[in-house]
Structures are given as structure tokens and as C-alpha cells.
Amino acid sequence: DAGVIQSPRHEVTEMGQEVTLRCKPISGHNSLFWYRQTMMRGLELLIYFNNNVPIDDSGMPEDRFSAKMPNASFSTLKIQPSEPRDSAVYFCASSTSGSHNEQFFGPGTRLTVL
């Protein structure tokens, strides 16, 4: 079975450019999570969706970040404009919405903003 799929795996861009990260959750999972991981701050939850609806976006750093989930099999995380401090690894994870919420992570996108 395919796991969570993320693209691109690596992204290098210049400050001020728009960046779009993509995620396809595991088929049948109806919850999707976006995380960011840095050495300084560890793994942080940015936003999560249940049944394509954003539930908690309190972790989104600022208005430059936005996320969408137009259907059950696709989500995007967009940064516009990007800044060097956005450099990090961005993970997408998915789970069923059962009571125990085991989350499975994608391979991540390593973003470097120059």
C-alpha cells in the first residue's frame, strides 16, 4: 500500500518567491496534518484537517502561510513570500479519525530559502 506522498522532496528557492508543497494522504485516511521540523524548534504542528475541513491552524506562523485541502486525496501548503527563516523540513501526515489517532508521516519536503 502506498504511504503518504509528498512533493517535491527538495525545494531550493530565493527569498520572496512563492513555494507550494503538496501532499497525498493514505487512501481511506480522513485526517491530514502539516508539520515543520527544525533543529531549534523540533517538530511543530502547523495545521490539520478533518474531512477536508481545517480544524486547527493555530500553529501556522503567520499570514504568509496558507493551506488547502480541496479533496480527500490532496492538500497544499503555500508560503508567499518565502523567507530564509522558513527553511526547514515540512512533513505531511495522515490518520483515520478514530479515537487513537495513529499518524503516519510522508517522506517530507526539505525547503531551503536563500
Our CB check for other proteins shows the closer of 59 and 81 to be 59
Our CB check for other proteins shows the closer of 39 and 62 to be 39
Our CB check for other proteins shows the closer of 16 and 61 to be 61
Applying CB under 8 A, the residues found at the interface with other proteins are 31, 33, 42-43, 45, 48, 50, 55-56, 91, 95, 97, 99-108
Q: How many CB atoms lie within 10 A of CB 99?
A: 5
Output DSSP code: residue 1. Answer: -
User: Least distance to other proteins from the beta carbon of 73, Å?
Assistant: 19
User: Least distance to other proteins from the beta carbon of 49, Å?
Assistant: 10
Please give the grid coordinates belonging to residue 47.
495545521
User: Least distance to other proteins from the beta carbon of 45, Å?
Assistant: 6
Q: Where are the beta strands (DSSP E) in the chain?
A: 5-7, 10-13, 19-24, 31-38, 42-50, 53-56, 65-71, 74-79, 88-95, 104-105, 109-113
User: Least distance to other proteins from the beta carbon of 58, Å?
Assistant: 9
